[in-house]
């Protein structure tokens, strides 16, 4: 029974891992790809860790597993946010079908635009 | 990084990471871990916090200058090695004290190797976070 | 069970390989960082699977450490991306390189820099 | 396994030497990190490979453990390597700040050529 | 800072400072003079016992392991030299006191002269050949400092260095020669070496020993082709030239040849080496002497000529030759030193040494003139001076020893005639006659300055008139020492009308002719010299420059300042040395020990290799970092799979931390430069080195991993980890207990690295810093 | 929650990590927890810290649920051959004021299917969201404002 | 005396830590450091006495028996070198108090200096190969720190090369140690002596020996691996250069000697011949380099390389006679290099430059100091009866004993050429009158915060040229006195060197000390010996 649950959990986790990878490969721009990795990837790891904790079923392993999951779920959205913010502020190229409705963010924009043009100059000045 | 989300979460993380780091240090003698790994985790926590809040806050968190922390760690390791010289053993010979030992259970083992490892831990925490603080302050 | 572990390992490995491919292809630095992030997370999965496979829960400790420290890498890279002067895409990178070479050849004739 | 891992060592060694020989200090740094990995890998590998038997003593567990000594050596080497490489990284940064280039061929401030003619003049 | 020094230089006019100078100079002078007198008296007191055949000896312990002991032995030869050195020393110190009275360097000079005298006395008194060498080198150094005494003058510095290099180089050869001599004869004691007779000449290394020792002697005694340094050394002040370059130091080589003649001589090698070198030296320097108008240079060249002559005589192992050499040595020391000192007085009084500008000095400085004229007469070999006896002996010796007497005899006559010519020049164009063109009126010098030339000149006269004493107590013991057998010699002014006397008469005649045709002769010689091949000074110059040039070229070629160049060489050295070793020691491999490959590992390795290749060709920094990360993670996975959990964790954490650091730093660093057009050959060379490095490393690693491993140590750890160190994590127990000292060092590295990084980051970099 | 309670929680977490709630391990855990709290003192008042920790744990559980849903949706998009997505970057006005509120909201947004918090405007009035499936931006804003944000604010105020 | 060996290691280590923690006052740090080095000096003499009277002294760390635990062992060679190290340490510490700028001390100068000593002493004391690697790294990272402390751009430029090449050596060393472990299963050097001959695959042993040669060759600055040295030494503050020049390469030489006498003795004659050849080339190229340059520090830096060549000859010839010569040369070389660099520092302070063309007049201005320089220079050249002469004499005797005509020839040529650069310093800086140049010129910086710009007679920047003070004179005169004593009474040191060499050639005392029960071991010592 335990083995069954473990097997399901880890195969499911593996599946999500593969999906995350596939999504990273197939989806059209970086922000959309992040939807795949942050969600499916985190879930994949979480499921597998859960499977392990079920298998060993000791309080130590369960605590460890829960800690891993907690860490992952605390950090994944923050990490995604930081990368996405950088993508946005540096004006990285996005899929051409992307709709922009970000007028309210202009104040933030100004600063980063200046930074960008400075950087472009630096880029040439090797 | 000046991100509200990040800095809020980082406060939470640093606590967890420090706790985990002490756990690693403590368990190192019997399970994976030890002073170096524990120290690195603690330093990683401090760095996460520092990346969110800036180097000034990292200094505040450490309270003493990282260099001092590093050298205190080094001295801790040295002193742990010197203790056995008092009972005329060689440098770095393990000295153990078992709290609550019974016939079957050894109880809670405290030994100079643990103190040694604490020294390592302090060196790594101070060293790594000190480097990052200096780097952040310079940039 | 054994089979399940192997399947899960294979699938995770696929995820990691996909991550590596994305990392190689880019084209933007953000893609690479995202890929690295995914690989880190999947390594947590791998270490857990190894714990199962080798029957030793100690391998989980690595997962724990990695979960913590992986975040640090992501943050570091995100900051790098946001603040550095790195080109936003490989195309821009090539363009900049070309421009830099032009400047070089224009100013200092026969000098080749690598 | 041995052949595969030796191949790996060979390839990694080649790549790291290639990077070390490049004129760019950052590439040199990458090569350094890589070559440290190679050294660690070699120590680990020649210490004998045992799959999945961590050197952790369990009550009543098997008496078969992976060779613990090379592990300890590699661990020490990794830590030392970390210290050295961090230093080198910061040095590269400072050197760039001071000299204005990362091209090692252009870093010749410290060794101004001493022309034979010059030395004759001054003697 | 520079300004201070000029002001200091000028400050010497200040009388207070002068008083200070005089104070320290007086002390130095007193020390020097008293030492010289003490030694002279001491030597004199030993004269009779040494003449009776009992040498004065002293033995002390110093460095027994090397056989270098404080063995001193004063026999006849040592006594002769000792008397000359200390006796002339007295006169020279006195002279110097007057010569340098107000000079800022007076004290320094007196101390140097004293040091030199002591070194010289040590040299001629040592019985241990290494001890002898030690004094030999000390004379070299003191003479270097003395030649460069007038150190603000470029020429003086150049000459000093030249003297040092030539004699120092010879000294090195001599050292090797002496060690070999010691090893060949089984003793470092001169007395024992001499006693061992022909042991050395029959030794297989004899030619080498001879060559090396003669190199030392020839350089020191200015024999061709090392003669050039001596005239250049005339940059030294006159008393120094008088003391070192006529009477003492240059005779050190002669002393050595005399000393070793009995053990090294008597062979064809010895004979030809000495006679050829001495002959060429004598002839060449005679010609050069006639070219000079500077009296001091003229004297210098005649010194070289005298040294050549003595060397030529030492070629033979006949007693008459030794007698001639010893006698001439004394003669020469007397008159040459006197003349040098006299010329010093002339220089001091008139400001010139050009004999064309000088004349009739007897009117202004009569005492100096007296000494000079008497010395010159001795030099010319006129009776009743000791010079006459010396010359007669030379002719007698020449007639006795030469195989082809007429050539040698002619040469000897020519050389002596030149001496006559030069002596007459001194007498009649400087002191007694000639026209003076100098503007200021010369004055007679202080008494301390004329006492030297006068005493020496009179000594030359007295010993000529009464040769008996000096023969019995000095010359005969010296000749005995040279011959290593007791010799019976007798000197007298008058031998009747014989071959030598006739030659003497011819000599005087030719000399007078030479005196009158000096300008013509010197012009002829000048023409001749220009057509001759490069010798001496210019050869030295050429050799020095060439060496300097080669050194610079080679250094600059190797030490380019480019790190990539250095690294290329380092890796080439690594690859070549290991590859060559592998070629000569083929590694046998036991392929039965291979273990099977699992697919998981294969995938990991594949990914790592791919990432490494990506790293090789990556042009973007981020891609490179990522690829590096993949390799590092792969290594960690390998650690993990093979049971090294702690290592894997550490590897990953360190990798990550490094990535964070590098990402932070890279923000401030420029992107990779464009690599689309690298220098092709360079790239190829790098690639070859890189691939070769990989190949050799792979082979070695494979070879070692197929070798069975002794696990004694590991098993010990496994057994004792829990039992004695109370830990289940063996790796950690190794780290904190079994091998805790490694960890302590490791922690020290981390601590120091952290402190270093922090300190480095605090450095303020000045973009326009000092260059 | 008082610092003492937090400390107690840490002590038990420690004991659990050490594989068994025993007297000695809880005691040690308490000491370690106290040390951690002591170290963290300069960060903020202990009570503030405690509530953050508690919310963190509670929200984490909520995240898991949301995560599974969103992953499935992404998986669907990845696995089907056509991209149905209509991505958009939308600045959504928000009411959340405190850092904690904004953080929780943003993270929840990130874990919700098809949306990802990208940035927060300097005046903290707008949250920039990247959404995968947007037909009408205004509708999206309303939905987020009325749905997710209200729930978060209710939970936290 | 369980703690003597470890005390030699811990005293400088604790000095390093305490000097930083206890005070931030510049002078106090120096005083703590000086006291630490005095303590080390006393310990080292006790150690030397013990070794001289009772043979090698060893101690097992943690009480774990060899070859399991790490061995600390001092045989005669180690003891001699530790004494010399302690002398250099004391001198440089005192000198540094008078020389090093406040910024550098605040950055941890004395900590790094003492850590460097820790590394050096550790390398000399350890009987475990991997442990030796660790101490090498301690030494290396400390040297890095000293290299960049307060650095200007020139210093950083030199540091890049120094760091880069030394790191390569580190990696090669680590690899070599790992491979040797893979072949023998032990890291204990005494145990290796027994086990290396038992390895079936001797070809691999030879290859690994070559790897060690390359790795230590870089550390020891052997041709063609020495480039890092002339690239960096002259860019440093004098106190640092003095300690580098004195000790760093010698540790490499020590490691070569130890490795090739204890681990790969005898049968690897290819390596010996190679060492001999490399020694000759290194010797000549070192002197050539010195002839090329006109900066005193660069001249001396190349002399360091030249002397490395001399030391290699001893090892290459391989007899006790030659080895004794090399060890004596090492003692002489370490001390004389430290002395000469400290003197060069005074020249720089008095003359405001290290460049010969800008120097002059020192003989006139400072006759006493000139004599000190001349004394040191002549000692280096090998003029009797100074220490260099005995070193040369010993090497020549050994060479002649082996009938090695080429060696003799090269030694003679190198010795002769050595005159040129050193006497050029004398001629230019001391004898030549002070040059009076016009026009603006930047006088070399002596320290990061000292820059003098001259325009004719007007100095347009603050000339911070510090006149030498008591802290600077004391070690120079003290060390000169030591050198003079060695020159006049070399017997004792030659005797000790000979003893050390004999222990190297016949390491049975060493082995017995480390492995007292080894008679049970299968390796027959007598078979392995030469
Ligand atoms: Na050195
Ligand atoms: Na050998």
Is residue A87 scored above 80 in pLDDT?
yes
Enter the ipTM.
Answer: 0.91
Tokens read off for G72: 């600390």
- Taking residues E264-282, what's their average pLDDT? 91
C75 touches chain B (CB under 8 A): yes
Instruction: Write down which chains contact chain D via at least 3 CB pairs under 8 A.
Output: B, C, E, G
> Is there a contact between E640 and C69 if contact means CB atoms under 8 Å apart?
no
- Residues E63-95 as b/e (b if ≥16 CB within 10 A, e otherwise) read bebbbbbebbbbbbbbbbbbbbbbbbbbbbbbb
Is residue E769 scored above 70 in pLDDT?
no
pLDDT tens string, chain G, 530 residues long: the values are 568 999 999 999 999 999 999 998 988 999 999 999 999 999 999 999 999 999 999 999 999 998 999 999 999 999 999 999 999 999 999 999 988 888 888 899 999 999 999 999 999 999 999 999 999 999 999 999 999 987 778 888 899 999 999 999 999 999 999 999 999 999 999 999 999 999 988 899 999 999 999 999 999 999 999 999 998 998 888 999 999 999 999 999 999 999 999 999 865 567 788 889 999 999 999 999 999 999 999 999 999 999 999 999 988 888 899 999 999 999 999 999 999 999 999 998 888 788 898 888 899 888 899 999 999 999 999 999 999 999 999 999 999 988 889 999 999 999 999 999 999 999 999 999 988 654 444 444 444 444 444 544 444 333 345 578 899 999 999 999 999 999 999 999 999 999 999 999 999 999 999 998 875 444 444 443 33
Distance G331 CA to ligand 1 centre (A): 12
Instruction: Write down which chains contact chain G via at least 3 CB pairs under 8 A.
Output: B, D, E
Among G255, G231, G240, D40, residue whose Cα is nearest residue E570: G231
Q: What percent of chain D has pLDDT over 70?
A: 87
CATH classification of C2-107, choosing from 1.10.287, 1.20.120, 1.10.10, 1.10.3470?
1.10.287
Distance E536 CA to ligand 2 centre (A): 45
**Nearest-by-CA chain G residue for E141:** G383
pLDDT digits (tens, 9 = 90+) for C11-22: 999 999 999 999
pLDDT at residue G103, as a whole number: 84
Give the burial class of E290: count Cβ atoms within 10 A of its Cβ; 0-12 exposed, 13-18 middle, 19 or more buried: buried
**Nearest-by-CA chain F residue for B100:** F24
> Is there a contact between E620 and C80 if contact means CB atoms under 8 Å apart?
no
8 A C-beta contact, residue G104 and residue E741: no
pLDDT at residue F59, as a whole number: 61
C58 touches chain B (CB under 8 A): yes
Regarding pTM above 0.90, the answer is yes
Distance E141 CA to ligand 2 centre (A): 39
**Nearest-by-CA chain G residue for B88:** G2
> Is there a contact between E607 and C17 if contact means CB atoms under 8 Å apart?
yes
- Residues E397-429 as b/e (b if ≥16 CB within 10 A, e otherwise) read bbbebbeeeeebbebbbbbbbbbbbbbbbbbbb
Give me the residue spans of the domains in chain G. 3-529
Distance G315 CA to ligand 1 centre (A): 17
State the first-to-last Cα distance of chain G, in angstroms, to the nearest integer. Answer: 34
Contact between chain G and chain F (3 or more Cβ pairs less than 8 Å apart): no
> Is there a contact between A122 and E670 if contact means CB atoms under 8 Å apart?
yes
- Residues G446-460 as b/e (b if ≥16 CB within 10 A, e otherwise) read bbbebbbebeeeeee
Helix (H, G, I), strand (E, B) or coil at C94: helix
> Is there a contact between F132 and A108 if contact means CB atoms under 8 Å apart?
no
pLDDT digits (tens, 9 = 90+) for E395-451: 888 888 766 667 778 888 888 898 899 999 999 988 888 788 877 788 888 888 899
Among G515, G507, G1, residue whose Cα is nearest residue G264: G507
Q: Which helix (H) or strand (E) holds C43?
A: helix C29-54
Residues of G in contact with B84 (CB under 8 A): 63
Residues of F in contact with B99 (CB under 8 A): 24
pLDDT digits (tens, 9 = 90+) for F141-152: 888 887 778 777
Is residue E536 scored above 50 in pLDDT?
yes
Give me the residue spans of the domains in chain F. 3-44, 54-156
In angstroms, rounded to a whole number, what is the distance separating the alpha carbons of residues B39 and B62? 13
> Is there a contact between E179 and G444 if contact means CB atoms under 8 Å apart?
no
Residues of A in contact with C1 (CB under 8 A): 3, 6-7
Distance G314 CA to ligand 2 centre (A): 11
Is residue E209 scored above 60 in pLDDT?
yes
How many CB pairs lie under 8 A apart between chains A and B?
20
In angstroms, rounded to a whole number, what is the distance separating the alpha carbons of residues E394 and E390? 6
Helix (H, G, I), strand (E, B) or coil at D45: helix
Q: Which of C54, C56, C113 has its CB closest to that of D103?
A: C113
Distance G505 CA to ligand 2 centre (A): 9
- Cis ω before G249 (30° cut-off from 0): no
Helices (H), A1-41: 2-26, 30-36
Q: Which helix (H) or strand (E) holds G442?
A: strand G440-447
> Is there a contact between F137 and A99 if contact means CB atoms under 8 Å apart?
yes
Residues of C in contact with B48 (CB under 8 A): 71-72, 75
Chain G, 281-320: which have a CB under 8 Å from a chain D CB?
A: 291-294, 298
pLDDT at residue C6, as a whole number: 92
Please give the DSSP secondary-structure letter assigned to residue G403. Answer: T
Among B29, D69, B97, residue whose Cα is nearest residue E733: B29
How many Å lie between the alpha carbon of B124 and the closest alpha carbon of chain D? 10
8 A C-beta contact, residue A32 and residue F113: no
pLDDT at residue G196, as a whole number: 92
pLDDT at residue A111, as a whole number: 46
Tokens read off for C108: 């200092």
Tokens read off for E87: 């006796």
pLDDT at residue F151, as a whole number: 72
How many Å lie between the alpha carbon of C16 and the closest alpha carbon of chain D? 19
pLDDT digits (tens, 9 = 90+) for E554-574: 998 888 888 889 999 999 999
Instruction: Write down which chains contact chain A via at least 3 CB pairs under 8 A.
Output: B, C, E, F
Give the burial class of E48: count Cβ atoms within 10 A of its Cβ; 0-12 exposed, 13-18 middle, 19 or more buried: exposed
pLDDT digits (tens, 9 = 90+) for A38-75: 888 888 999 999 999 889 888 778 888 888 888 888 88
User: What residues does the ion ligand 1 have nearby, CB within 5 Å?
Assistant: G 245, 248-249, 304
| Phi then psi dihedrals of residue E307, to 5 deg | -65, -40
pLDDT at residue E522, as a whole number: 87
Mutate to test the interface with E, among D5, D9, D17, D19 (most CBs of E within 10 A): D17
> Is there a contact between D90 and B135 if contact means CB atoms under 8 Å apart?
yes
pLDDT digits (tens, 9 = 90+) for E460-508: 999 988 888 889 999 999 999 999 888 888 888 777 777 888 888 999 9
How many CB pairs lie under 8 A apart between chains E and G?
326
In angstroms, rounded to a whole number, what is the distance separating the alpha carbons of residues F85 and F88? 9
A35 touches chain F (CB under 8 A): yes
Is residue E263 scored above 50 in pLDDT?
yes
Give the burial class of E643: count Cβ atoms within 10 A of its Cβ; 0-12 exposed, 13-18 middle, 19 or more buried: buried
In angstroms, rounded to a whole number, what is the distance separating the alpha carbons of residues G513 and G523? 16
Return the C-alpha torsion angle F145, F150, F152, F154, nearest 10.
160
Is residue B84 scored above 70 in pLDDT?
yes
**Nearest-by-CA chain C residue for A12:** C8
pLDDT digits (tens, 9 = 90+) for D72-102: 999 999 999 999 999 999 999 999 988 888 8
Instruction: Write down which chains contact chain E via at least 3 CB pairs under 8 A.
Output: A, B, C, D, G
Q: Which of G133, G160, G171 has its CB closest to that of D107?
A: G160
In angstroms, rounded to a whole number, what is the distance separating the alpha carbons of residues E296 and E302? 10
- Taking residues D41-45, what's their average pLDDT? 95
Residues of E in contact with A122 (CB under 8 A): 670
Helices (H), E618-711: 621-641, 645-666, 680-705
Distance G248 CA to ligand 1 centre (A): 5
> Is there a contact between F53 and B12 if contact means CB atoms under 8 Å apart?
yes
């Amino acid at each position: 029974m335990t083995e069954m649950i473990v097997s399901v959990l880890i195969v499911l986790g593996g599946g999500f891992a593969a999906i995350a990878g596939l999504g990273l490969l197939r989806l059209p721009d970086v922000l959309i790809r992040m939807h795949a990795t942050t969600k499916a990837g985190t879930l994949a790891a979480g499921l597998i860790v859960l499977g392990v904790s079920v298998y060993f079923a000791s309080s130590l392993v369960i605590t460890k597993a829960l800690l891993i999951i907690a860490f992952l779920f605390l950090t994944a959205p923050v990490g995604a946010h930081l990368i996405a913010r950088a993508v946005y502020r540096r004006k990285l190229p996005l899929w051409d079908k992307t709709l922009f409705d970000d007028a309210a963010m202009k104040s933030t924009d100004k600063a980063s635009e200046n930074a960008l043009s400075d950087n472009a100059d630096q880029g040439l000045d090797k | 990084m000046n991100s509200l989300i990040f800095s809020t979460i980082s406060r939470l993380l640093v606590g967890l990471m420090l706790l985990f780091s002490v756990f690693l240090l403590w368990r190192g003698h019997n399970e994976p871990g030890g002073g170096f790994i524990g120290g690195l985790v603690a330093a990683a926590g401090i760095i996460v916090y520092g990346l969110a809040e800036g180097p000034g806050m990292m200094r505040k968190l450490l309270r003493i200058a990282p260099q001092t922390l590093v050298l205190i760690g080094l001295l801790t390791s040295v002193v742990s090695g010197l203790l056995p010289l008092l009972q005329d053993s060689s440098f770095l010979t393990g000295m153990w004290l078992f709290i609550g030992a019974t016939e079957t259970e050894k109880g809670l083992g405290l030994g100079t190797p643990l103190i040694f490892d604490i020294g390592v831990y302090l060196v790594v925490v101070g060293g790594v976070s000190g480097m990052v603080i200096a780097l952040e302050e310079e940039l | 069970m054994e089979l399940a572990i192997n399947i899960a390992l294979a699938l995770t490995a696929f995820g990691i390989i996909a991550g590596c491919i994305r990392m190689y292809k880019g084209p933007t630095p953000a893609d690479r960082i995202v890929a690295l992030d995914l690989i880190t997370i999947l390594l947590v999965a791998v270490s857990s699977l190894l714990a199962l496979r080798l029957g030793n829960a100690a391998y989980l400790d690595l997962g724990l450490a990695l979960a913590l420290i992986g975040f640090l890498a992501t943050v570091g890279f995100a900051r790098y991306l946001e603040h550095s002067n790195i080109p936003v895409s490989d195309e821009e990178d090539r363009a900049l390189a070309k421009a830099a070479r032009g400047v070089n050849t224009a100013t200092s004739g026969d000098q080749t820099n690598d | 396994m041995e052949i595969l891992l030796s191949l790996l060592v060979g390839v990694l060694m080649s790549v790291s030497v290639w990077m070390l020989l490049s004129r760019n200090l950052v590439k040199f740094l990458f090569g350094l990190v890589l070559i440290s990995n190679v050294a660690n890998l070699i120590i680990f590998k020649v210490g004998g490979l045992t799959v999945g038997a961590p050197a952790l003593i369990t009550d009543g567990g098997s008496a078969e453990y992976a060779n613990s000594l090379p592990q300890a050596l590699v661990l020490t080497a990794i830590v030392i390597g970390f210290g050295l490489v961090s230093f080198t990284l910061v040095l590269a940064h400072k050197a760039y700040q001071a000299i204005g280039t990362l091209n090692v061929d252009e870093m010749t401030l410290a060794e101004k050529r001493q022309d034979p003619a010059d030395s004759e003049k001054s003697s | 800072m520079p300004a201070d020094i000029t002001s200091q230089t000028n400050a010497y006019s200040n009388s207070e400072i002068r008083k200070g100078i005089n104070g320290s100079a007086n002390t130095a002078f007193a020390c020097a003079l008293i030492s010289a007198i003490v030694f002279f008296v001491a030597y004199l007191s030993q004269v009779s016992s040494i003449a009776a055949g009992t040498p004065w000896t002293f033995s002390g312990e110093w460095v027994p392991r090397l056989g270098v002991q404080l063995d001193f032995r004063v026999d006849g030869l040592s006594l002769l030299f000792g008397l000359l050195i200390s006796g002339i020393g007295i006169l020279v110190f006195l002279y110097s006191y007057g010569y340098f009275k107000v000079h800022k360097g007076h004290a320094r000079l007196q101390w140097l002269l004293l040091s030199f005298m002591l070194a010289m006395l040590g040299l001629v008194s040592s019985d241990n050949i290494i001890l002898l060498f030690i004094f030999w080198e000390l004379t070299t150094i003191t003479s270097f400092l003395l030649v460069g005494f007038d150190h603000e003058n470029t020429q003086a510095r150049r000459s000093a260095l030249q003297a040092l290099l030539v004699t120092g180089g010879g000294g090195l050869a001599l050292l090797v020669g002496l060690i070999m001599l010691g090893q060949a004869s089984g003793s470092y004691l001169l007395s024992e070496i001499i006693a061992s007779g022909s042991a050395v000449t029959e030794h297989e290394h004899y030619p080498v020993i001879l060559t090396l020792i003669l190199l030392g002697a020839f350089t020191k005694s200015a024999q061709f082709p090392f003669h050039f340094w001596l005239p250049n050394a005339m940059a030294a002040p006159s008393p120094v030239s008088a003391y070192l370059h006529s009477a003492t130091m240059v005779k050190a080589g002669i002393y050595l040849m005399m000393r070793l003649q009995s053990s090294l001589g008597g062979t064809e090698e010895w004979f030809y080496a000495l006679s050829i070198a001495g002959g060429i030296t004598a002839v060449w320097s005679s010609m050069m002497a006639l070219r000079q108008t500077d009296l001091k240079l003229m004297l210098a060249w005649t010194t070289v000529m005298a040294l050549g002559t003595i060397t030529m005589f030492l070629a033979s192992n006949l007693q008459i030759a030794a007698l001639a050499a010893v006698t001439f040595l004394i003669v020469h020391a007397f008159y040459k030193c006197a003349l040098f000192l006299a010329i010093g007085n002339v220089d001091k009084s008139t400001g010139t040494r050009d004999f064309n500008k000088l004349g009739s000095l007897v009117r202004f400085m009569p005492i100096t003139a007296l000494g000079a004229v008497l010395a010159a007469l001795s030099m010319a070999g006129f009776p009743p001076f000791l010079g006459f006896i010396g010359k007669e002996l030379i002719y007698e010796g020449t007639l006795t020893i030469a195989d082809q007497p007429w050539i040698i005899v002619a040469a000897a006559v020519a050389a002596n005639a030149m001496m006559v010519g030069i002596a007459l020049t001194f007498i009649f164009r400087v002191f007694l006659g000639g026209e003076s063109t100098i503007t200021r009126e010369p004055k007679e010098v202080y008494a301390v300055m004329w006492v030297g030339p006068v005493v020496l000149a009179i000594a030359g006269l007295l010993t000529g008139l009464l040769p008996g004493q000096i023969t019995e107590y000095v010359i005969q013991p010296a000749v005995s020492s040279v011959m290593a057998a007791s010799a019976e010699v007798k000197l007298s002014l008058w031998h009747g009308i014989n071959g030598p006397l006739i030659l003497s008469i011819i000599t005087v005649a030719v000399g007078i002719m030479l005196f009158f045709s000096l300008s013509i002769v010197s012009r002829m010689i000048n023409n001749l010299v220009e057509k001759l091949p490069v010798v001496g000074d210019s050869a030295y110059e050429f050799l020095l420059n060439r060496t300097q040039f080669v050194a610079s070229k080679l250094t600059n070629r190797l030490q380019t300042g480019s790190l990539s160049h250095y690294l290329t060489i380092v890796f080439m050295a690594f690859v070549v040395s290991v590859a060559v070793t592998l070629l000569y020691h083929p590694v046998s491999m036991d392929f039965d020990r291979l273990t099977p490959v699992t697919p998981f590992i294969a995938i990991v390795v594949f990914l790592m290799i791919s990432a490494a290749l990506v790293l090789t060709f990556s042009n973007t920094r981020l891609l490179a970092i990522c690829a590096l990360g993949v390799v590092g993670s792969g290594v960690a996975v390998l650690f993990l799979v093979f049971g090294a959990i702690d290592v894997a964790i550490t590897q990953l954490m360190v990798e990550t931390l490094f990535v964070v650091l590098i990402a932070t730093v890279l923000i401030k660093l420029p992107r990779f430069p464009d690599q689309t057009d690298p220098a092709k050959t360079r790239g190829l060379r790098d690639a070859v080195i890189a691939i070769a490095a990989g190949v050799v490393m792979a082979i070695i690693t494979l070879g070692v991993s197929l070798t069975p491993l002794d696990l004694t140590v590991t098993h010990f750890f496994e057994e004792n980890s829990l039992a004695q160190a109370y830990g289940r994590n063996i790796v950690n127990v190794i780290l904190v207990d079994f091998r805790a000292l490694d960890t302590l060092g490791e922690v020290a590295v981390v601590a120091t690295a952290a402190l270093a990084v922090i300190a480095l980051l605090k450095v303020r970099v000045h973009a326009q810093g000092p260059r | 929650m008082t610092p003492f309670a937090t400390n107690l929680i840490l002590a038990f977490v420690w004991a659990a990590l050490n594989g068994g709630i025993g007297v000695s391990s809880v005691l040690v855990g308490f000491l370690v927890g106290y040390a951690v709290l002591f170290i963290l003192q300069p960060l903020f008042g202990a009570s503030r810290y405690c509530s953050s920790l508690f919310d963190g744990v509670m929200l984490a559980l909520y995240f898991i649920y949301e995560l599974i849903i969103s992953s499935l949706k992404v998986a669907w998009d990845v696995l089907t051959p056509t991209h149905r997505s209509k991505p958009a970057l939308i600045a959504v006005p928000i009411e959340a004021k405190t850092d904690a509120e904004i953080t929780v909201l943003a993270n929840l947004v990130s874990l919700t299917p098809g949306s990802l918090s990208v940035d927060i405007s300097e005046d903290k009035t707008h949250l920039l969201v990247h959404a995968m499936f947007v037909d009408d931006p205004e509708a999206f804003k309303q939905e987020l404002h009325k749905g997710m944000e209200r729930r978060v604010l209710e939970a936290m105020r | 005396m369980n703690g003597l060996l470890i005390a030699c290691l811990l005293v400088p280590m604790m000095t390093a830590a305490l000097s930083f923690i206890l005070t931030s006052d510049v002078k106090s740090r120096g005083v703590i450091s000086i006291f630490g080095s005095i303590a080390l000096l006393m310990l080292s003499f006790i150690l030397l006495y013990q070794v001289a009277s009772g043979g090698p002294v060893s101690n097992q760390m943690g009480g774990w028996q060899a070859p399991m635990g790490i061995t600390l062992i001092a045989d005669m060679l180690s003891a001699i070198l530790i004494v010399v190290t302690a002398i250099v340490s004391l001198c440089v510490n005192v000198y540094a108090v008078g020389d090093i700028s406040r910024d550098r001390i605040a950055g941890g100068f004395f900590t790094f200096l003492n850590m460097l000593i820790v590394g050096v002493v550790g390398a000399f004391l350890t009987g475990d190969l991997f442990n030796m690697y660790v101490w090498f790294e301690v030494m290396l990272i400390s040297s890095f720190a000293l290299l960049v402390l307060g650095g200007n751009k020139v210093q950083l430029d030199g540091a890049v090369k120094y760091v880069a090449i030394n790191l390569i050596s580190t990696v090669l060393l680590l690899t070599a140690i790992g491979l040797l472990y893979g072949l023998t299963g032990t890291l204990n050097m005494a145990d290796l002596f027994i086990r290396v001959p038992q390895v079936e695959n001797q070809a691999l042993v030879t290859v690994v020996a070559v790897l060690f040669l390359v790795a230590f060759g870089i550390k020891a600055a052997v041709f063609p691996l020495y480039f890092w040295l002339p690239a960096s030494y002259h860019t440093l503050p004098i106190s640092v250069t003095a300690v580098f020049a004195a000790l760093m390469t010698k540790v490499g030489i020590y490691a070569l000697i130890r490795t090739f006498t204890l681990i790969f003795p005898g049968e690897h004659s290819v390596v010996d011949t190679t060492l001999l050849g490399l020694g000759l080339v290194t010797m000549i190229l070192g002197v050539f380099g010195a002839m090329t340059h006109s900066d005193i520090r660069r001249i001396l830096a190349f002399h360091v390389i030249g002397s490395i060549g001399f030391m290699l000859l001893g090892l290459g010839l391989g007899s006790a006679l030659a080895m004794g010569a090399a060890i004596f040369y090492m003692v002489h070389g370490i001390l004389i290099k430290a002395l000469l660099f400290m003197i060069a520092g005074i020249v720089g302070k008095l003359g405001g430059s290290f460049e010969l063309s800008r120097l002059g007049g020192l003989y006139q201005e400072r006759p006493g100091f000139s004599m000190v320089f001349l004394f040191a220079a002549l000692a280096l050249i090998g003029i009797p009866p100074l220490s260099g002469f005995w070193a040369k004499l010993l090497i020549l005797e050994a060479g002649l004993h082996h009938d090695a005509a080429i060696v003799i020839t090269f030694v003679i040529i190198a010795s002769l050429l050595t005159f040129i650069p050193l006497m050029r310093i004398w001629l230019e800086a001391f004898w030549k009158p002070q040059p009076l140049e016009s026009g603006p010129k930047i006088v070399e910086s002596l320290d990061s915060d000292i820059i003098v710009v001259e325009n004719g007679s007007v100095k347009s920047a603050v000339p911070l040229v510090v006149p030498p003070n008591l802290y600077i004179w004391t070690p120079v005169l003290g060390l000169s006195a030591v050198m003079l004593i060695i020159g006049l009474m070399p017997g004792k040191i030659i005797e000790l060197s000979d003893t050390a060499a004999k222990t190297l050639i016949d390491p049975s005392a060493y082995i017995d000390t480390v492995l007292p029960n080894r008679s049970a071991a299968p390796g027959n010592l007598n078979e392995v010996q030469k």
